[in-house]
Structure 1
Amino acid sequence: MMTTHSSLTQSQQAAITKATQCLAPNWPLDRMIAVNPLWKNVDQPFDKVATEVSTLAGIRCHMPVSTYLDWYEQGRIQNDCLLQAASEYGVHMSAEALIMYLSKETARVQSWRNIADWADLTRSHHKMSWHDEITHQISQFCAAHYQQQRPMLQRQYRQQSLNLYQHWLQVSRLDRGLAIIMSEAKLEQEFAALPEDQEALFIEAITTLNIPQSTLAEYGQALLLDINGWGSYLAYRAFEAEKVGQQQDDVRSLLAIKLAWELVVWRYLEKHSADDFDTLAERWKQQTHHLNELREQHSEALAIPRIWARALELSEQQALQQQLTDVTANLPDAPAMQAIFCIDVRSEVYRRALEQQSGNIETYGFAGFFGLPIEYEQAGTQVARPQLPGLLPPTIRVVESQADEGKLAQENRSASWNRWGNAAAGTFSMVESMGWWYAFKLFKKNLKGDTSHALSPTHSSHWTLTRQGRTLDIQDQAELAKGVLDTMGLRHFTGTILLVGHGSHSCNNLQSAGLECGACGGQTGEINVRVLAQLLNNLKVREALKPMGYQIPDQTQFVAALHNTITDHITCYNEVNDPAVVDWLMQATYLAQQERAVKVDQALLNMDREERNAAYLRRAKDWSQTRPEWGLADNNAFIIAPRQYTRNLDLHGRSFLHDYDFKQDSDAGILERLMTAPMLVTHWINMQYNLSTTDNFKFGSGNKVLHNAVGDHIGVFEGNGGDLRIGLAMQSLHDGQQWMHTPQRLAVYIRAPKPFIESIVAKHELLQQLIDNQWLYVFQWDEQSISRFYQGAWQQD
């Protein structure tokens, strides 16, 4: 082993730390929520980040030019928007000349190559690729290391206090199969020569590989982006640890593992393949000293796709803004029923359908966790799960204090079954293992359906709320309810008020949590609406609310409900006293099903409503259905405004809708909460759909049919190896013929005075970064016009 310096320099430490902070957290399967994969880079302009990840990892943040051309020919991109987009990027041409210029398909520029990639260029085609085996070995090791339900690690390793790097090193030193797989007989000697300490490994690698300080951070980032799936999972573990005041630094260890492999390849070739090593060393030297030139090549290659992407955004924004500025406010004169829905884009379709049933129906949009910062503990268990956005820590624990013991036993049996069904062997392999018995169970489920849902407690449940072990008294509950009502904007109360969460009950779907409510941590909103209904129906809580300005009539009934986003059925968890409400809900279901049929399955349009309804129910139960619904595909806007201004608009299920009345928000406190919570959640959703579409290999999860669960809930492999896959499967984005999601950055429209928006953005650096670095667009919408807020100033749109 060579002698190295005793410690890393301060600048080297900073570069390594910078590299390890480049990855956004990715939540596990049972809490799968949408995330902007580039979230840790929002302090830089979007275009700069797009260039950087293209340079370092070949990641695409735009669609191919051919796709934009198709959309242009379909009329989705307007000429005036093309001219404006080109002008923004300093390109000034006539429309005809611009189209000629933009029609050129840009050649792909070679991205940064790590040492293993360079080594593969001169490696025999009859041998296993260094890159592929490194990814496979690290990925299989991480799966074994983090598997919780059935530990795969040998006991002696688990009893030692080893960090991730040290454990990998011990396992690798004993793995004689690596030399056999790679057809390199003396490979194990290089693992024996690696230092035991990961900090010593960093020093040794930097010295041996001659890594310049100017490219150390970028090299580290390139290595981590090459194992982005596991890196993102470890970033999630670090994020969760930080929320409870702990430190978890496995991302740094993962970087050490990647660097160790680079060192192994370098030294092995140096000793056993002199010609290949000389070629590698020269290429590596040239690359490390010419990173800026490589970056410039990628920036030039993105010039045309960048203009197309911006022109598409302008075209879509222009069309929506025309709708918004032409609208006439429309409020029910005397509402007979109110219904509060999640802001989710899927709610927009159903809300319109429900409002068409009567002019006396009033709907609201509200964040799907219904303002409750809770975690849920089911009776008879010791495990609590968050029911709020992933960015926020829960402060209140909710316990179901009356539960059906038979149902608990059934759910325990179901959980055991599901653990096996979702294990690494894969869901479809269960049929092979269990033979006709499991096949029969699936067939029966297809015919009859599975009426039990793990997140559907008994209707008679009572909920106990505690904070740090103390039960919330009536005053605490009233203050909690007041905060919800303030943000919701509910000032008058009808006889029946529905609190409608949402969930998606599909079968045989490892990523089913991704179709649930993101604001509820990848769970359904059922718990949240049932807890809130209990609070607001409590007469003592209502009495305590009176001095706070809320007079809820005695006859008002809050009904907890759940919107099944596959079937558009509404399940009510309290008895509905008004038969008209029941009829309205069913009629709205039929209407929403008809509208969605255009995207779900054209054959549904040729059915009568009863046949169509039955077909949707079968779809939800179909274990072979890879596209049970389209989720939040094609989302493009977030509108913060009173419903009266969007009530008559068909927004095509593409807009998040949150009710807000600035006249009830004198200090802009409510708007501040909306811009620092729901707006961030919608941005995360939007960017995950965007980047899963533009680069499904790095930021998506490939073919859903090939998914196998890793460690019960950690994530999925596509097939039986490779990196952990993150993001959305192709079946969530593409129908086999065309893209169902159009990548474009979120446009946020706020109906509030400009000073409100200005003051809030000025208070929050994160909002300044998102807006000024163009990760999203913020517009102020008033009676006559729409203005964009950018770089601290207003621009008339």
Structure 2
Amino acid sequence: MDVSSVLTKENENNKDTNKNFQEIDINTIIESASRVIAPLWPISTFAARNPWMGLEKQSFDEVADWLKDTRDVDIYPSASMIRSAKSKGEIDEAFVKMGLQRWLDTHPFNIPRDVAERFCQAALKLDRLPSSLLSSHKLEKSVEEFSGLNLDSIKNSSIQPMSSFVKKQDGEKLIKILDNHVIKWCKVYLDEFQAGWTMPHREEGFYRAWRRLIQHDPALSKHQRQNLKDWPHEAPLALKEALSFMEIPTSEIQNYLEGHLLSLPGWAGMMLWRSQQTSHEQDLLTDYLAVRISLEWALIKPYLPLSNQRTESEVSLTTLLASWIHWGGLTLEDWLQMSATEQHEYLSFAYSFDDKLRRKIWLEGWEQTHTDQLSQKLIFKQRETKRKHSTLAQLAFCIDVRSEPFRRQLEKEGPFETIGIAGFFGLPIATSELGSKHSHASLPIILNPQHKIREYVDEEELDKYQQRKQAVNSLSNTFKTMKQNVLASLLLPELSGPWLSLQMVARSFVPRKANRFIRNLRESWIRKPNTKLSLDHEDNKEANLPVGFSEEEKLSYAHQALKLMGLTEKKFAPLVVICGHSSQSINNPYASSLECGACGGAAGGFNARALANLCNLPEVRRGLSAKGIEIPEDTIFVAAEHKTTIDELHWIYVPTLSEAAQEAFDRIEAIMPTVSRNANAERLAQLPGFQSKLKNPKAEAQRFADDWSEIRPEWGLARNASFIIGQRELTLDCDLEGRAFLHNYDWKQDESGDLLANIIAGPGTVSQWINLQYYASTVAPHYYGSGNKATQTVTAGLGVMQGNASDLLTGLPWQSVMQSDSEVYHSPVRLLIVIQAPSEYVERLLNNDSVFREKVENGWVRLSSIDPEGHWKNW
């Protein structure tokens, strides 16, 4: 039914259609429509985002079908990915055959079972149908004579923006022109620091500023500008007006807005994120849609009315019949001898067992193979406990998958115990570095900071430090100002050319030496003094956050962190190291994505230092003792940072140590070169071009970190596949290949189940987001990834585009997930959560946490458990 017919019918039912249209709650509709996009953070504070977070009430398979129908986006792994995984032993075909049998058992069909199985098994080889068969004249003639299949029953339709149906005389689609207009306006409004001149009237909001300026836009014709001259002053009214003029039925408004949001999901996602940050911009997504659809109305007006606004895709009968001939062994003679009913059954069966379903079965077989291989490692491998001697040190690392190989190498070298915990260590803080007036959240983006912690020194030292830092910043600011000034920019090449040329040559040919020289020069000039942290509560508030902690809060956060680490009843080692993590790379827009995938690019060192300080406070230890946690007097907490790009441990807080703690510290220092070398060798061997044994892994890792032309300084969290919640003994000595998030958990100390619930709600959610970010960037890189780093353009200080007018790219670049142009590195499997606990603990979790249960039931995560007797269960 076309738009005109729909409107005619509505007018018959209601004579006052326009009045009802104006009375609709457009903001509520926009809020519902926003489920199809996800908030997009600026790339400088990159955080993993689940692109389907608003769609989890639907099953993964339903969303896959919907995306294919509406945007032609395929979120199942491609045939080439599946073949590659099979050749590497990542898919056991036995699980694929089991998946096929399950499907056949649960889907009715009226053809012989052996015939159906033979067809499906051949189709599951994922071969293409021969082009010669598809173009066969006999085949086409047989199809033309067939009229027994009801096309309406297998027809897919979706509503799209009206501009997607209109082409100009040169063949360019109107929606592409619309997108270019919207990208331009988004860039000038959202720009943070790149542009020298800001958008006029920006303080009035996006829509109002656009409305003021659109009359002077030379990219629009005079007639188009005239159409928008008396446009409404308020965004909701403008949006309703445009929808009304284009005669979008009220029942289709949400679908129509969803289509526009999905057209540029990156820019729309940035608008959604900004709308959630401050009350000043809470209506920004409404502004965005008002601008976009107002522009669409101005562009499309000469082409109205359009006869049909729905896209309809019909299955090809030729393809269905060809599939039976190629995979089912059917001949045209056999086909012609069938009754119309039989022909209908055969074609309907081929339609049901389509390409999406075949790759879905392979994906599930891939995932089941991973589950089986992991269970073999965790359950059936007999291991002897190596902790026969007393533990010399306990080291708490972030659950980040890159910690797993480093922890394993560390444990090989001595009597050390490693612990997994979320890398913000349970401290909901915003941090402020010495001399900075600004702070940034240092916790997962799903949480909000409750306290501000700042570095400080005495006033005299601070003044000297700020003067030195100001001198460096002034030089940088002067350079930027000159670049953006019309006259000064003419002199800039003459003034800066020699120095920048020398810097370019040095960084290109001797990157390690050049960056070490620049880094040392900066550090020796600035000379940052030793600082303290403002852990004590202060009465004044900064940015609406209290500075420091009260005495009760100090005790509470320390107690919570020790519980999560399982250090409540366990004997403390003389040295406890709280290890944050960070990354190191040069000239990399995605540098923050290599920091913490959960915390918006924030490194974990600040939090580690704060927690270690808290646990050393005498008053905190006395409070912990009253709660039954006895920390020996000679046990000292220190803080360090694991540099993931070079696999080194950097100390950031080491107080006066006891004799026993000093012995442990010296031992760690002694073995660290070996640990670093082995961890680097294991990690670098996975990078392209490093198949042979490296003579000096540490030097090569440092080169990757310092080379400004290096597009892949490390793999980041690629190949992440599981989140294991249990005691370290469960995974001790297991080579998990850097694919597992590891969180300590002892069910015996969690009678209420609250600890497990918190782990699932916090780290579990973040791990799932990271997993689906990598999954989406791998299976649909053109829509959910960000393309090739070498051709990206950093724009508006917000993110990257391909070229100068594309969507704001939302995901990871090819270099983060691809081994080469044709070979993937990341294995696109959905996260497997493994819980070491009795089954009743998992049942209670699912009963109490409806959100998590929904994710499991709808296929967004997989869930398994290991009970105390070592039995594995898939939920």
1:165 maps to which of 207, 217, 234? 207
Check 1:221–1:421 CA distance in 2 against 1; reply closer, same or farther (3 A cut).
Answer: farther
**Mapped partners of 2:747, 2:871: distance in 1:** 17
Q: Establish whether residue 562 from structure 1 lines up as the match of residue 596 from structure 2.
A: no
Aligned to 1:251: 285
Query: For structure 2, which runs of at least 5 residues remain unmatched after alignment?
Result: 1-16, 108-112, 130-154, 317-347, 485-491, 539-544
What TM-score does the superposition give when structure 2 sets the normalisation length?
A: 0.79
CA distance in 1, matches of 2:235, 2:194: 28
From 419, 423, 440, give the equivalent of 1:364: 419
Q: Secondary structure at the match of 1:5?
A: helix
Q: Does 2:160 correspond to 1:138? A: no
1:22 matched residue in structure 2: 36
Letter in 2 for 1:24: A
Change (3 A) 1:710 1:298: farther
Q: CA deviation at 1:304?
A: 2.2
Partner of 2:409: 353
**Are the structure 2 counterparts of residues 554 and 338 from structure 1 closer, same or farther at C-alpha, using a change threshold of 3 Å?**
same
| 1:718–1:109 distance in 2 versus 1, CA, 3 Å | farther
Q: How does 1:182-261 map to 2 (within 5 A)?
A: 186-192=223-229, 194-241=231-278, 248-261=282-295
Distance between the aligned counterparts of 2:355 and 2:619, measured in 1?
A: 65
Tell me if 1:633 matches 2:718.
yes
The residue aligned with 1:749 is: 834
One-letter code aligned to 2:174: W
The 2-side partners of 1:554 and 1:154 are apart by 58
Q: 1:479 to 1:99 in 2, by over 3 A?
A: same
Cα distance change, pair 156–202 in 1 and its aligned pair in 2 (3 A): closer
What is the alpha-carbon distance in structure 1 between the residues aligned to residue 371 and residue 595 of structure 2? Answer: 27
Query: 1:106 touches 1:301 (CA, 8 Å); kept in 2?
Result: no
TM value normalised by structure 1: 0.87
- Choose the corresponding residue for 1:616, options 692, 696, 701: 701
Which whole-Å CA distance do the structure 1 matches of 2:480 and 2:364 have between them? Answer: 41
2:555 corresponds to which of 455, 478, 481:
478
Aligned to 2:673: 586
Report the AA paired with residue 64 of structure 1. S
1:538 positional shift: 2.2
Alpha-carbon separation, structure 2, partners of 1:378 and 1:687: 33
Question: Counterpart of 1:747 in structure 2: which amino acid?
Answer: L
- Partner of 1:573, secondary structure, is strand
What is the alpha-carbon distance in structure 1 between the residues aligned to residue 478 and residue 266 of structure 2? 23
Q: Confirm or deny: 8 A CA contact 1:459 1:574 kept in the other structure.
A: no
Distance change (3 Å), C-alpha of 1:326 and 1:408: farther
Aligned residues: 753
Q: Secondary structure at the match of 2:201?
A: helix
Corresponding position of 2:301: 267
Quote the sequence identity (%).
26
The aligned residue for residue 696 of structure 1 is 781
Indicate whether 1:460 and 2:506 are aligned. Answer: no
**Helix, strand or coil: the match of 2:829?**
coil
Partner of 1:340: 396
Summarize the Cα distance change of 1:459–1:599 in structure 2 as closer, same or farther, 3 Å threshold: farther
User: Is contact 1:65–1:106 with CA below 8 Å preserved after alignment?
Assistant: no
Residue of structure 2 aligned with 1:283, choices 285, 295, 308:
308
> Matched residues in 1 for 2:585 and 2:477: separation?
17
* Contact preservation (8 Å) 1:422, 1:510: no
Paired with 2:586 and 2:206, the residues of 1 have a C-alpha distance of 35
Which residue of the other structure, out of 108, 123, 128, is the alignment partner of 2:169? 123
Does 2:822 match 1:729?
Answer: no
1:167–1:11 CA distance, 2 compared to 1 (3 A)? closer
Q: Aligned residue for 2:727? A: 642
How big is the shift at 1:415?
A: 6.4
Partners of 1:549 and 1:39 in 2: CA distance = 41
Task: Tell me the secondary structure at the aligned position of residue 446 of structure 2.
Answer: coil
Seen in structure 2, the aligned counterparts of structure 1 residues 247 and 170 have a Cα distance that, compared at 3 Å, is: closer
- Kindly report which structure 2 residues correspond to 1:778-797, keeping only aligned pairs within 5 A, or say none: 778-782=863-867, 783-789=869-875
Contact 1:750 1:780 in 2 (8 A): yes
| Alignment RMSD (CA, Å) | 3.4
Q: 1:686 aligns with which of 771, 781, 784?
A: 771
Q: Kindly tell me: are residues 17 and 310 of structure 1, through their superposed partners in 2, closer, same or farther at Cα, counting changes over 3 Å?
A: same
- The 2-side partners of 1:283 and 1:86 are apart by 39
Amino acid at match of 1:175: D
Question: Which one-letter code corresponds to 1:114 in the other structure?
Answer: P
Question: Residues 293, 696 of structure 1: CA spacing in aligned structure 2 closer, same or farther, 3 A cutoff?
Answer: same
State whether residues 426 and 561 of structure 2, in contact with CA within 8 Å, keep that contact through their aligned partners in structure 1: yes
The reply on whether 1:487 has 2:564 as its aligned counterpart is: yes
Shift in Å at residue 707 of structure 1? 2.8
Instruction: Point out the more displaced range, 17-26 or 775-784.
Output: 17-26
Alignment-mate amino acid for residue 189 of structure 2: H
1:359-438 counterparts in 2 under 5 A? Answer: 360-402=415-457, 405=462, 408=466, 434-438=496-500
Aligned to 2:152: none
Shift of 1:414: 6.4
Deviation at 1:489, TM superposition (A): 0.7
Q: Distance in 1 between matches of 2:796 and 2:755?
A: 41
1:542 aligns to what?
621
Please give the alpha-carbon distance, in whole angstroms, between the structure 2 residues aligned to 1:393 and 1:514: 20
2:227 partner SS = helix
* Alignment-mate amino acid for residue 682 of structure 2: E
Answer yes or no: is the 8 Å Cα contact 2:35–2:55 preserved in 1. no
**SS where residue 518 of structure 1 aligns?**
coil
Residues 191 and 442 from structure 1, CA distance in 2 versus in 1: closer, same or farther, beyond 3 angstroms? same
User: For each residue in 1:705-727, what CA deviation from the matched residue of structure 2 results, as whole angstroms up to 9, or x when unmatched?
Assistant: 23333332x22222222111111
Cα deviation for residue 80 of structure 1 reads 1.6
Equivalent position of 2:595 in the other structure: 516
What SS class does the counterpart of residue 368 from structure 2 fall into?
helix
Give the partner amino acid of 2:680: Q
- 1:149 CA drift (Å): 3.2
1:106/1:304 contact within 8 Å kept: no
1:236 is displaced (CA, Å) by 1.4
Matched, 1:100 2:122: yes
How far the C-alpha of 1:117 sits from its partner, in A, is 1.9
The answer to whether the 8 Å contact 2:421/2:743 transfers is yes
Cα separation, 2, equivalents of 1:21 and 1:323: 39
The one-letter code of the counterpart of 2:711 is T
User: What is the match of residue 304 of structure 1?
Assistant: 358
Query: Does residue 126 of structure 2 align to residue 70 of structure 1?
Result: no
Change (3 A) 1:457 1:572: farther
Note closer, same or farther for the CA distance 1:146–1:673 as it changes in structure 2 (3 Å cut): same
- Mapped to 1, the partners of 2:477 and 2:170 lie a distance apart of 42
* 8 Å contact from structure 1 (residues 202, 259) kept in 2: yes
Query: Any idea what the Cα deviations from partners look like across 1:353-385, whole Å, max 9, x if unmatched?
Result: 111112x11111111111111110123222110
Post-superposition offset of 1:291? 9.2
| Shift in alpha-carbon separation, 1:604–1:658, aligned structure 2, 3 A | same
Query: Which one has the largest radius of gyration?
Result: 2
Structure 1 stretch displaced more, 478-487 or 757-766: 757-766
> Aligned with 1:76: secondary structure?
coil
Give the Å deviation of 1:193.
Answer: 6.0
Distance 1:321 1:95, change over 3 A: farther
Shift of 1:624: 0.5
Gaps of 5+ in 1: 180-184, 271-276, 790-797
Distance 1:436 1:320 in 2: 57
User: Partner of 2:685: helix, strand, or coil?
Assistant: helix
Name the SS of the counterpart of 1:502 in structure 2: strand
Query: Match for 2:161 among 90, 106, 114?
Result: 114
CA distance in 2, matches of 1:291, 1:433: 61
Distance 1:419 1:762 in 2: 56
Asked if 2 retains the 8 angstrom alpha-carbon contact of 1:143 and 1:710, the reply is yes
**2:742 matched to which residue of 1?**
657
